[in-house]
Chain A
Amino acid sequence: MQKLLEEFVPGEKGVIVAVAGEGRVRRRLFDMGVTPGAEVIMRKKAPLGDPIEITLRGYELTLRKTEAACVTMEVKKK
């Protein structure tokens, strides 16, 4: 099943399928290792619901929901 990283709930796992967006934001996502094929665990949301924290390539990354909306994921079953 596919959905956006933005819609993930804490604890959910998945593999990146595609990264949309443009320019600076997209490039920054690539540079931080958010590329197709990478495995992602959604860790938590900030107290105010945004941004979110994910584990990716063995480190913690935080990004906003608007940025997470650029990332399409294939959900991995537990």
Chain B
Amino acid sequence: MKQFALAGNPNCGKTTLFNLLTGSTAYVGNWPGVTVDKKVGTYKKGAEPVQIVDLPGIYSLSPYTPEEVISRNFILEEKPACVINIVDATNLERNLYLTTQLMEIDVPLIIALNMMDAVEKSGDVIDAKLLEEKIGLPVVKISALKGTGIKELMDRAISISQKPREGVTVLRDSAIAHLVQDVNIALRAQNVEAPLFHAVKLSEMDEIETQMHPELVKMVDEFKSTFKDDTFGNDLEAVVADARYKYISANYSTAYTHKGAKGEKLTKSDKADKVLTHRIWGIPIFIVILFAIFHLTFSEDFLYISAIAGGLPSLEELGMDTENAGVMLLACFYDGAVFSPGVILTNLLNWLLEWINVLAEMACANAPAWVGSFVIDGILGGVFAVLGFIPQILTLFLFFSILEDTGYMARIAFILDRIFRKFGLSGRAFMPMVMGFGCSLPAMINTRTLADDKERTSTVRVIPFFSCGAKLPILTAVAGAIVAYFGVGNADVITMCMYLLGICTAIVTVILMRSTTMRGEVPPFIMELPAYHAPRFQSLMVHLWDKTKHYVKKAFTIILASTIVIWFLSSFNWSWQFLINEDGDNLRMNESILGSIGMLIQPLFTPLGFGSQLGVEFGWVFAVAAITGLVAKENVIATFGSLAAVIVGSLIATEDGVSEVTAMIQGTGIGIPGLISFIAFNMLTIPCFAACATARAELPKGKFKWTLLFWLATSYVVSMAIYLIGSWWWTCFIFIAAAAAAVALIVLWNKKHPMKKETVSATVGLDEAALDEAAVTREEKK
């Protein structure tokens, strides 16, 4: 099958065209640079089926960003039968800049003038015939949104893919035409493929090319020593970029006739922007929008109706039978307060899952006890724990997709960049971080919008510190128990403080990483701000479906496997006896394999206040709870529930988990510092399996194991500090001294080893990435 590649600027409608051609459900967003990995689909409506590859959106073929290197290597090495260059017709000049680079490669090339509907609507005219003549390549007017011109585009693309095309350059009249010509001849003599492209890039002293053809660098250097341009001196990279734009303005821009005075009149988008990025109102509006999103997703008191009314009666208080199926369904929407849409969806799903659970229990009624437990606690319990998150994750995602699709997300980065630069990040890092308060999974996936690899790695690593929805029950249960048992403080204040602790830890560790292992310049913030437009229903749904698929797939693979392992370890003892009694309660968890592992690792937590000092009898439960928390953080309190049973003698399960924790306090004699340290540890340590799987997929190769270590180390150090300072206040001097020493060491080290030039290190890293990429595509071909 022939392979066609789609190349173009970010946000030029490339992914929309891809979806139209392939009928696939690739995600479309209104944020420059959404497509990071390339997507593949098939076009079946032509004379022959064609494979379509959607390359990442790029502005240039420079060696500086991973997207550009991926696209460049794909076209050069995989040699698609044709490259379809999508050009945003409303922004002709900048889009054609990439075209002038693509046309230098020896590959059939066709230009799709997209967004013609928007151009015609504004009354402007583009002479496609004239443009085609000037460029010397086929030009087809299309509108991916309206679906016009697609047939003609594909027919012409298929016809030009029959015969090879030799590259041409717009630099033939420029000052360095001679150099390009000479290098071209030298490369041709070596039988290099696409010699013209390599010749131009070599003339620019492109990092990738100079490594590939070191023997020709001398030629360029010699030329440089004699060359002197009036404006640029002998900076050939600048000469080339300038020549391209000059050529475009002189030759191609004439094809575009503007009707009105461009840039003078205020469009709807400009008016919206005036309000949304207002000097004074910009930030308050942003905070309100953010708050509204979280309220709609997570609030159990929609619009604060119940709080305003001074408390509404619960269904039980209204005299309804809460065991009745209809009332249970009603309770998904209202129970003492109207729930927000996100909570309603969660309740409905859990209601449904509850029924599946009941059916499963009935089906397993006659099977041996361990089979029933395996199905219900091992398989269903684990999968439901993950599926149960879906409604809220999706609701949160829906809102963030709307922000992204309308173009507001790019403005948030614009508004907040100033603050984030202080931590060595750019404004784009904000969104993934704040999404972390909802759930780490979508947050980690969202880091794809970060251009810089080091920035992205640092961000993925600190996302779990923004305490997610599933960690909240741990906070409220432990805080509640502290207040109930010790009679000190206020549960809400403790919870708030823990959230703050997470944020502070994130800030400190980001600064730490950016000055040690993730050292690098603050990434440049030179970003296109796309025009606002109304969100498109179809693209939102496509986006959501994509995310759901991704997530469900994970729930049934890695997460299922790990929950089964934990179930096995906690339900059996070393002599393979099944420990769970007929009622399904695990009252003998202390004898289980997991229990003995807990006892074994218990001493490790001694410096954290929940280790050996709590005694061997029950002290290990905190260690075990931390392990089960890896499956899903809800398990921490659930584990307390079944372990508290060992202490109290019967199972306790309360909605808020306070009595479970209180029982644990009674059983182990743990103090307040130890409890706070325990919350902090669970909040900052390795997140749930689902988040780990996502982090692994999103991080660059080889970074995941260090990330696990980073999470462990951070949580360990912070919890130890809390416990020790909480128990013996004077130990704070030790921590302050240690911190000061660490800072001094880092500063001294960084002074001694000044940063290498960013471009060099970036290119070396990219080279590896490029090689990996090539290997992957080759395997796919096989």
What is the CA–CA distance of A48 and B62 in the complex, to the nearest angstrom?
A: 32
Instruction: Tell whether, in the assembled complex, residue A32 and residue B237 are in contact, meaning their CB atoms are under 8 Å apart.
Output: no
Closest to A28 in B: B526
Q: Is the CB of B62 within 8 A of A57?
A: no
B419 in contact (CB, < 8 A): yes
Cβ-defined contact, B279 with A19, below 8 A: no
Within the complex, which residue of A31, A44, A67 is in contact with B59, where a contact is CB–CB below 8 Å?
Answer: A31
Q: Contacts A19-B238, A31-B60, A47-B282 hold; do A62 and B418 have CB atoms under 8 A apart?
A: no
B278 proximal to A (CB < 8 A): yes
What's the least CB distance linking B386 to chain A, in Å? 38
The answer to whether B283 touches A35, judged by C-beta atoms less than 8 angstroms apart, is no
B690 CB to nearest A CB, Å: 35
A61 in contact with B277 given A47-B415, A48-B415, A51-B414 (CB within 8 Å): no
A36 cross-chain contacts in B, Cβ below 8 A:
231, 242
Q: Is the interface of A mostly helix, strand, loop or mixed?
A: mixed
Residues of A with C-beta under 8 A to B549: none
Contact B415 A64 (CB under 8 A): no
Report yes or no: A41 in contact with B263, Cβ–Cβ below 8 A.
yes
Assess the A32–B91 pair: CB atoms within 8 A.
no
Tell me which residues across on chain A come within 8 A of B762, comparing CB atoms. 24
With an 8 A cutoff between CB atoms, is B246 at the interface? yes
Please state if A33 and B93 are interface contacts (CB–CB under 8 Å): yes
Interface residue B97 (Cβ < 8 Å from any Cβ of A): yes
Q: How large is the interface on B (under 10, 10 to 19, 20 to 34, 35 or more residues)?
A: 35 or more
Q: How far is the CA of A58 from the CA of B246 in the complex (A)?
A: 16
- Per-residue A-contact encoding for B65-93, CB less than 8 Å = 1, 0 else: 00000000000000000000000001111
Given contacts A46-B277, A47-B282, A57-B93, whether A67 and B245 have CB atoms under 8 Å apart is no
A57 and B246 CA atoms in complex are apart in Å by 12
Q: Is the CB of B91 within 8 A of A57?
A: yes
Asked if A7 CB lies within 8 Å of chain B CBs, one says no
Determine if B421 is an interface residue (Cβ-Cβ < 8 Å). yes
Given known contacts A46-B277, A47-B280, A64-B421, A27 and B262 CB-to-CB distance under 8 angstroms = no
B527 within 8 A of A: yes
Of all chain B residues, the one with the shortest Cβ separation from A57 is: B93
Smallest beta-carbon distance A55→chain B, Å: 6
Docked complex Cα distance between A45 and B277 (Å): 9
Residue of A nearest to B427 (CB): A51
CB distance from A8 to the nearest CB of B (A): 15
Contact A61 B527, beta carbon cutoff 8 Å? yes
Chain A residues lying within 8 Å of B414, measured Cβ to Cβ, are 46, 51, 53, 62
Chain A residues 15-34 with CB under 8 Å of chain B are 18-19, 23-33
Candidates A32, A48, A62; contact of B419 at CB < 8 Å: A48
State whether A25 touches B231 (Cβ < 8 A). Answer: no
Q: A51 touching B90 by the CB < 8 A rule?
A: no
**A29 & B64 in contact (Cβ 8 Å cutoff):** no
Asked whether any CB of chain A lies closer than 8 Å to the CB of B538, the reply is no
How near does chain B come to A59, taking the closest CB pair, in angstroms? 5
- Is B524 on the interface with A (CB-CB < 8 A)? yes
Is B117 close to A, CB under 8 A?
no
In the assembled complex, how far is the CB of residue A45 from the closest CB belonging to chain B, in whole angstroms? 7
Query: Which of A24, A26, A33, A61 has the most chain B CB atoms inside 10 A of its CB?
Result: A24
Chain A residues with Cβ under 8 A from B279's Cβ?
44-45, 47
A63 adjacent to chain B (CB < 8 Å): yes
Q: How distant is B122 from chain A, measured CB to nearest CB, in Å?
A: 11
Are A64 and B93 neighbours in the complex by a CB distance under 8 Å? no
| Closest A residue by C-beta to B88 | A59
- Cα distance A39–B530 in the bound complex, in angstroms: 19
The reply on B759 being an interface residue by CB < 8 A is yes
CA of A32 to CA of B65, assembled, Å: 14
Residue among A23, A25, A41, A60 with most chain B CB within 10 A = A60
A32, A38, A41, A48: the one within 8 Å of B526 (CB): A32
Task: Tell me whether B528 and A59 are in contact (CB under 8 A).
Answer: yes
Q: How far is the CA of A47 from the CA of B241 in the complex (A)?
A: 33
Q: Are B59 and A32 in contact (CB under 8 A)?
A: yes
Supposing A31-B60, A58-B93 touch, asked if A49 and B418 sit within 8 A by C-beta, the answer is: yes
| Complex CA distance for A24 and B525, rounded to whole angstroms | 11
| B419 to chain A: closest residue by CB | A48
Residues of B within 8 Å of A41, CB to CB, are 263
Q: Is the CB of A46 within 8 A of B527?
A: no
Q: Are A32 and B418 in contact, CB atoms less than 8 angstroms apart?
A: no
In Å, the complex CA distance between A12 and B754 comes to: 39
- Least Cβ–Cβ distance between A46 and chain B, in angstroms: 5
A67 engages B526 (CB within 8 Å): yes
Counting CB contacts under 8 A, is B781 at the interface?
Answer: no
- The chain B residues found within 8 Å of chain A, CB to CB, are 59-60, 62, 64, 90-94, 97, 231, 237-238, 241-242, 245-246, 249, 262-263, 277-280, 282-283, 414-415, 417-419, 421, 427, 524-531, 757-759, 762
A-B contact pairs, 28 of them (CB 8 A): A19-B238, A24-B64, A27-B62, A28-B64, A28-B526, A29-B526, A31-B97, A31-B241, A32-B59, A35-B241, A37-B249, A38-B245, A46-B277, A46-B414, A46-B417, A47-B277, A47-B279, A48-B283, A53-B414, A53-B529, A58-B90, A58-B93, A59-B528, A60-B530, A62-B528, A64-B417, A64-B525, A67-B524
| Known A24-B762, A51-B417; further 5 A-B contacts with Cβ < 8 A | A24-B64, A48-B415, A49-B418, A55-B263, A63-B526
Q: Rank and list the top 8 A-B pairs by shortest CB-CB distance, nearest first.
A: A30-B241, A31-B60, A48-B418, A23-B759, A60-B529, A47-B282, A57-B93, A31-B59
